[in-house]
Amino acid sequence: MELLLSSIQAVGMVLVAPLVSGVIKTTKAKLQNRQGPSLFQVYFDFIKLLSKDSVLSPTASWIFNAAPYIYFMSNVAVAALVPVISFGNPGSGDAFLLIYLWALGRFFLVLGSLDAGSAFGGMGGAREMFIAILVEPAMLLSLLTVAFKAKTTSLGLMVLAVADSPFSLAYVFAAIAFFMVLIAETGRIPVDNPDTHLELTMIHEGMILEYSGRRLALIFFASATKQLSMIFLFVVFFLPGNPLESYYFGWMLVKVFFIAILIAFTEISTNKMRLFKVPNFLAISCLLSLLALVAY
């Protein structure tokens, strides 16, 4: 039953993830007095990419071909582990496993960008690994603030532990730290700009510049799924409710779309920072997580 619930959850999150991306894009457009794309534009782009052929670099090997599939499946696996409709089972998922699965997908996507032999791909891959070595410790520390409270790294039991946690200063520090990690890990402004292909600033877009067709569609869907997984983690850990209440799941969806709107507001309120300033940004996240651990 646990495996069935996790599979249903993963499929549901993959299908809903582009809608959350559409909410962010539409909200940004409305806040900037633009018409903006449709809420379902990401779905339309996916269907369009499925009908297109892939153009392969002559230097590409099996790594370039396999990287989008590994990146997609690693994010689907994470979507199955996030405690949304299945929690309380110690074996349902682990915080360290979550981070390793995201690292696996990132590693192969970076290899794919280098395998194409493109200068832009190599630049994007190098920048992605630079961000990765900074964001992974920050993510681990922010999750450990919750794990320390729950006395376990099981994601399901962590959800049950924070459901009864009182509002405190440590809670606020941990929430801000994880939100900063969410911004960095999903490639949003001010760390990265997902809506540009400017050579001097692109990170994630530089890695996938050589991909097209079905492989590019998989990368888009995987990135949207990763974003939704991180938003759900933020909601269940830092905007918790009682999992035993009948309206828990519906109220959780409201919180997810609230965080999506907050991300859009954050993007239009800040500018893309320079690459060498990103360590300072993530150092603040690590410091807030450490303060939360000390406060606990």
Tell me what pLDDT residue 109 has. 92
Read off the pTM: 0.91
Q: How far apart, in Å, are the Cα atoms of 150 and each of 81, 154, 243?
A: 17, 9, 15
Tell me what pLDDT residue 198 has. 65
Tell me what pLDDT residue 18 has. 92
Q: pLDDT tens string for the chain (296 positions)? A: 777 888 888 899 999 999 999 999 999 989 888 888 888 988 998 889 988 888 888 888 889 999 999 999 999 999 988 888 765 454 467 889 999 999 999 999 999 988 888 888 888 888 888 888 889 888 998 888 888 888 888 888 888 888 777 677 888 898 999 999 999 988 888 888 777 766 666 777 778 888 888 999 999 999 999 999 999 999 989 887 776 677 778 888 899 999 999 999 998 888 888 888 888 999 999 999 899 888 87
Cis peptide before 83 (omega within 30 of 0): no
Q: How far apart are CA 194 and CA 21, in angstroms?
A: 11
Domain limits for position 228:
2-295
Q: Domain count for the chain, please give it.
A: 1
Q: How far apart, in Å, are the Cα atoms of 264 and each of 188, 256, 257, 272, 275?
A: 9, 13, 11, 14, 21
Tell me what pLDDT residue 69 has. 94
Tell me what pLDDT residue 244 has. 67
Tell me what pLDDT residue 90 has. 47
Tell me what pLDDT residue 4 has. 82
Tell me what pLDDT residue 197 has. 66
